[in-house]
Amino acid sequence: MHPVTVVLGKEVRDAARDKRALLTAFLFPVLSPLLVYFMMTAIIELQTDADKMTIPIIGGEHAPALVQWLQEQDVHLEKFDGDAKQVVRDKDKELVVIIPDDFQQKFGELKTVQIEIVSDGSRTDSQPKIRRVHDLLRQYNQEIGALRLIARGVSPDVTRVVMSQHIDVASKEQRAAMALNFIPMYIILAAFVAGMGIAVDSTAGERERKTIEPLLINPVERYQIVTGKWLAATIFSAIGMALTLVLCIAAMGQVSLAQIGLQFHIGNGQMLSMLLATLPLAFLATSMQLLLGIFAKSFKDAQSYIGLLVLLPMVPSMYMMFSPFATQEWMFAIPMLGQHLLLVDVLGAKEVPLIGYFYSAISCLVLSMALVLITARLFQRESILSG
């Protein structure tokens, strides 16, 4: 048996018996899809709430035409009596629409009618609803206004100086993918979380438990020992990542995205593409952790370093969420950013250039091999025995 295989086999067996480390490693892949599910469901509920809404109205009987028009726009009106300001302040209602008594009279005299919308500006969750009511009233305004002009022989275009039309170039899948930006982040995070326990245990743990000296007395090259440990940690990292990926996608399948007009379909081919895109990251994540683990004097030391390391993969994801940019080919070559871009594109059903997979895989593997070599050099130092 090759020494690398011997070390690999031992580390995998050792780690598989470490129940606490396993729990931390695989809690994340199980929890993240749940998070995805509940977050998406919450988003959809917010959206559909705004679409099919119920509006409390005072004085609806004074404006039967408006009430009927609103009902035609899928708005459910609910008659309300009482102190509008108080119920909104008490957060019993998100908003109340008040129609004045003299609506019909002013309407007939072609005077402007004041319709009051009582709302609480500090409540962010009611904003879509309020915006919708404003939009509806503006639309009603335009329709009636246009009819009045036509009746006087004036083209309604006279009052329309400019008109905006919104053209969204994102495909529906892409819009879904934007909403799903956190799935790539979870998958990338999983690479770091799932391999962490074994990477730390097989480096800092080996020093702390004083097994490193007996191990290094064996006639094996140091780089072979490090490679065995690296591959063992990579197996765990890859399993964690694949599990997160599959479960997150499965969770998305359970969310009724059609309700908000989004399409989301991931076939086996896309699943495979995503696995291929992210696999090199498992090698990189664990090589970073091994290096930090060997630097650290103790288990605790290592875990605090590696805790910070987990923030690293979040940088590109966060950056993309807050300031999206156009993808350039060279960007695939930046580890972690490359994987993130690939995942977003595959999720968004966009054609991904093959060179993207190539760049991101090569850069990850080259960087991780360099880190493994550095770790092997550190294993060769005499001071590895102390502390």
Partner 1 sequence: MIEVKSLYKSFADIKAVKDVSFTADNGQVTGLLGPNGAGKSTTLRILYGLLTQDSGGALVDGIDIKSDRIGAQRKIGVLPDSHGLYIRLTAREHIHYFGRLHKFDEDKLEFQTNELIKLLGMEAIADRRVEGFSQGERMKVCLARSLVHNPPNVLLDEPTNGLDVMTTRNVREIIEELKNKNIAVLFSSHLMHEVSRLCDHIVIVSEGSIVASGATDEIRNTADEENLEEAFVKLVEGGID
> Can residue 211 be called a binding residue for partner 1 (CB under 8 A)?
yes
> Can residue 216 be called a binding residue for partner 1 (CB under 8 A)?
yes
Q: Which is nearer to partner 1, 304 or 380 (CB)?
A: 380
18-47 positions binding partner 1, by CB under 8 A: 18
CA atoms within 13 A on the CB side of 289: 35
> Can residue 1 be called a binding residue for partner 1 (CB under 8 A)?
yes
Q: Which stretch binds partner 1 (CB under 8 A): 66-74, 103-111, 204-212, 251-259?
A: 204-212
Q: Which stretch binds partner 1 (CB under 8 A): 11-19, 100-108, 140-148, 261-269?
A: 11-19
Write out the DSSP string of 285-337. HHHHHHHHHHH-SSHHHHHHHHHHHTTTTHHHHHHHHHS-----GGGGGSTTH
**Percent helix / strand / coil, the chain, rounded to 5:** 70, 5, 25
Q: Which stretch binds partner 1 (CB under 8 A): 141-149, 206-214, 309-317, 319-327?
A: 206-214
Minimum distance from CB of 206 to partner 1 (Å)? 8
Q: Which stretch binds partner 1 (CB under 8 A): 12-20, 81-89, 161-169, 255-263?
A: 12-20
Q: Which of 278, 316, 90, 91 is nearest to 187 (CA)?
A: 278
Tokens linked to 322: 């807050």
Tokens linked to 227: 């490679």
Q: Which is nearer to partner 1, 229 or 340 (CB)?
A: 229
Amino acid at 179: A
Exposed, middle or buried by CB within 10 Å (0-12, 13-18, 19+), for 180? buried
221-240 positions binding partner 1, by CB under 8 A: 221
Contact with partner 1 (CB under 8 A): which of 151, 217, 308, 326? 217
- SS3 state at 206: helix
Cα angle 287, 289, 291; round to 5? 70
Minimum distance from CB of 6 to partner 1 (Å)? 4
> Can residue 190 be called a binding residue for partner 1 (CB under 8 A)?
no
Dihedral (C-alpha) 75, 79, 82, 86: value to the nearest 10 degrees? -10
> Can residue 3 be called a binding residue for partner 1 (CB under 8 A)?
yes
- SS3 state at 226: helix
> Can residue 10 be called a binding residue for partner 1 (CB under 8 A)?
yes
Contact with partner 1 (CB under 8 A): which of 108, 152, 210, 322? 210
Contact with partner 1 (CB under 8 A): which of 79, 138, 209, 377? 209
Q: Which is nearer to partner 1, 167 or 217 (CB)?
A: 217
263-292 positions binding partner 1, by CB under 8 A: none
Determine the size of the site formed for partner 1 (CB under 8 A).
25
> Can residue 12 be called a binding residue for partner 1 (CB under 8 A)?
no
> Can residue 298 be called a binding residue for partner 1 (CB under 8 A)?
no
> Can residue 17 be called a binding residue for partner 1 (CB under 8 A)?
yes
Residue 244: how many other CB atoms lie within 10 Å:
28
Residues whose CB is less than 8 angstroms from the CB of residue 239 and which lie 6 or more positions away in sequence, other chains included: 194
Contact with partner 1 (CB under 8 A): which of 8, 40, 55, 212? 212
Residue 117 phi/psi, 5-degree rounding, is -115, 115
Minimum distance from CB of 378 to partner 1 (Å)? 14
Minimum distance from CB of 27 to partner 1 (Å)? 20
> Can residue 213 be called a binding residue for partner 1 (CB under 8 A)?
yes
Beta bridge partners of 118: 96
Minimum distance from CB of 213 to partner 1 (Å)? 4
Which long-range contacts (C-beta less than 8 Å, at least 24 apart) are formed by 38-45? 39/182, 40/179, 40/180, 40/251, 40/252, 40/255, 40/257, 41/255, 43/179, 43/260, 44/255, 44/256, 44/257, 44/259, 44/260
Tokens linked to 223: 């780089």
Q: Which stretch binds partner 1 (CB under 8 A): 67-75, 145-153, 212-220, 358-366?
A: 212-220
Query: Which residue ranges make up the site for partner 1 (CB under 8 A)?
Result: 1, 3, 6-7, 10, 13-14, 17-18, 206, 209-221, 382, 385
